[in-house]
Chain A
């Protein structure tokens, strides 16, 4: 948190902008696109582009029970909490980002 009134982090979106069981793609200038996922009330923030092919994970299928996102192209899969690949053909981990929930908004840290 801040001291001296300067709040940390880059604004991503309002929590309400991310549908339950869905995802939102966020473009921030100068960096690869980000995906915000909302699964059973929990939020996850990762890179949006699959590590295997040029596909947007925010358009992928979310398995709420396993907390996994499946890439819409080759159906490779990643654990949302860790970014660990958990379905072929994905082999490279997805980057997971630290974030903060504040006043109904989500902020990217680091």
Chain B
């Protein structure tokens, strides 16, 4: 157990094997972060005293300039003893549900699209998280990846993930071809969770961004007091990725409160618009940007295009556009 102290701030314990970031969040502190996977660069801290094992020295979230200045990514740092860190806490990052690491058993598998499969795990105690959050799933040998949850909080302790098979991917190869009976789940994490608001919702799901958008839609469906409509923009490469409106209404539980807007990016298909999902959204929106709050999950080009459109060009407050970014 190491003691981690923030310069001019709080101190928190870090269990052996835990990262600086996760230990701080477990203690209820708002350590800045987003992806927990070395990609986004939000969790950079200055290591003032002490030493850490760097789990991913080449992580893209850190520039050469950052390395020169002695910064580390809190999400990729395992302390080898007591440490002192310089960082500025962010109230927006205080976890609404404190993340916990727990064992879980695989209790079900179902195909969602041609290459997205739902894996259902069950753990002791209630599954407590907010729609749109993610958890880190690790195999007995330590291989670990972050995946978005696709269901909503429940007392049965069920944690569902809709995971897209990545060609050649180590983790998804194992999950799809030789599903593990038992895993470790660490979560919940993530800031792109469902918030209350006066406006209807636009969800934009590109490729494997389906799961968190399904969770957001299910979160609205699960709350009888929440009467917002959901406009669900779903981008796929081909028609086979887009099972249709009846499927989406059923999958999310929203029924006729969900409008489904599919588009194919690669292979033209009769009856389906062709183009990138962010372009399809832009065409549909016209100038009605103020009518909606936005939740978006997908690959970097989609996220960058939506950031450019909604925040840089249209000037929407960043709090109205939540991104679940993939790295």
Contacts and interface: CB of A to CB of B under 8 A. Distances in A.
23 contacts: A51-B312, A53-B90, A63-B65, A66-B65, A68-B65, A70-B65, A72-B88, A74-B41, A75-B41, A75-B44, A76-B41, A77-B65, A86-B63, A87-B66, A88-B39, A88-B40, A88-B44, A88-B60, A88-B62, A89-B34, A89-B41, A91-B307, A93-B312
B43 to A, nearest CB: 8
Interface of A: 51, 53, 63, 66, 68, 70, 72-77, 86-89, 91-93
B323 to A, nearest CB: 10
Given A74-B42, A76-B41, A88 B61 contact: yes
Interface of B: 32, 34, 39-42, 44, 60-63, 65-66, 71, 88, 90, 304, 307-308, 311-312
Nearest to B32: A74
Contacts of A63: 65
B233 to A, nearest CB: 21
A93 B42 CA distance: 17
Classify the interface of chain B: helix, strand, loop or mixed.
loop
B42 A91 contact: no
Nearest to B40: A89
Given A51-B312, A73-B32, 17 more contacts: A51-B311, A53-B90, A63-B65, A70-B65, A73-B90, A74-B44, A75-B44, A75-B71, A87-B41, A87-B65, A87-B66, A88-B44, A88-B61, A89-B34, A91-B304, A92-B308, A92-B311
Contact of A75 (B40, B66, B307): B66
Given A73-B32, A92-B307, A87 B88 contact: no
Which of A74, A88, A91, A93 counts the most chain B CB atoms within 10 A? A88
Contacts of B34: 89
